[in-house]
Amino acid sequence: MSAPLPSAFRCGYVAILGAPNAGKSTLLNRLLGMKIAITSKRPQTTRTRILGVVQRPGAQMILLDTPGIHQARGPLNTRIVAAALTAMEDVDLLLWLVDAERPDPEAEGFLLERLPSAGPPVLLAINKIDRVAKAQVLPLIDAWRRRHPFAAIVPISARYGTQLEALEEEMTRLLPEGPALFPEDQVTDQPERVIVTEMIREKVFRLTGAEIPYSTAVTVEQFKARPDRALIDIHATIHLERDSQKAIVIGKGGAKLRQIGEAARMDIQRLLGAKVFLKLFVRVQKNWTRDAKAMERFGYP
């Protein structure tokens, strides 16, 4: 028999919501103490819901990192936003992240209108306070308090870890009492293959600048560990929509693709704790972001 849980143990699902590029994935990675979610200075980089499990004394917080909520344009973005709105259902707490430095009135209004009136409590985290003057923080809190009856408002910096302990305390307070739902050593429900695809896609975003639009998908065709797991062979394909994009991703003499592969390999090795041989391919599937079957094949149901 397992030992009885402390009476005050709390556990629940938390959906992290917010406008594109509010810092949701950065916050998730910071709370977990490791990288499982894609981050980039470019908005809308998270496309699918990622579950991370935060273990703390007396609490287990099960986090859903959702795509940035925005007015969807096009079939792919419609699916992405639908995934984020679905995450608001059947959770115990909504954690809404807003950008202190660069507010997004359109996305914020869009989400405010969709907050469930009788749903779970909403905890507001005002992120990136390291980028604004201290004198601006209290007026920001007051302004948000007038917009919605939040359960609590906490100013934070996900990048530097500022006020994250206070945020965790509020999250724990707002979760229901109950037993842990995941083992103590589990950090995410995402298979290693899925995290690897996201790490490769992140490097495409970071290293190709504004030339490559949000029409990049990555699939892993081979993920094979050598018998002693001293080396893992990974073959992955970067899927694009146009031949001109393929030329940019490959670069002169293959230089850009090698740069993407090397940067991704370093992250993947840290994740897996083993040496990695990463081979990347680039293929064009014209207009895949408007093809329902292609979107499903690339993981956008």
pLDDT digits (tens, 9 = 90+) for 174-204: 999 999 988 887 777 677 788 888 889 888 9
Helix, coil or strand: residue 226:
coil
On whether residue 81 sits in a domain, the answer given is yes
Within 8 A by CB and 6+ apart from 17, the residues are 24, 66, 69, 84, 87, 88, 94, 95, 96, 97, 111
On whether residue 186 sits in a domain, the answer given is no
Helix, coil or strand: residue 35:
coil
CA distance 135 to 100: 12
Candidates 267, 264, 253, 276; CA nearest to 29 is: 267
Contact 127, 156 (CB under 8 A): yes
Q: What is the CATH number of the domain that holds 259?
A: 3.30.300.20
Mark whether 19 and 135 lie in a shared domain. Answer: yes
Q: What is the CATH number of the domain that holds 35?
A: 3.40.50.300
Mark whether 23 and 146 lie in a shared domain. Answer: yes
Q: How far is CA 77 from the centre of its chain?
A: 16
CA distance 190 to 292: 23
How is the beta sheet containing 59-65 ordered, strand by strand? 50-56, 59-65, 10-18, 93-99, 122-127, 152-155
Mark whether 76 and 200 lie in a shared domain. Answer: no
Return mean pLDDT, the chain. 82
On whether residue 234 sits in a domain, the answer given is yes
The confidence score (pLDDT) of residue 130 equals 96
> Domain tally for the chain?
2
Q: What is the pLDDT of residues 99-124, one digit of tens each?
A: 999 988 888 888 888 887 768 999 99
Q: Which of 14-18, 66-70, 229-233 has the highest mean pLDDT?
A: 14-18
Cα end-to-end span (Å), the chain:
40
Q: If you average pLDDT over residues 216-237, what whole number do you get?
A: 85
Q: What is the pLDDT of residues 43-87, one digit of tens each?
A: 444 444 567 889 898 999 998 877 655 444 555 555 555 655 666
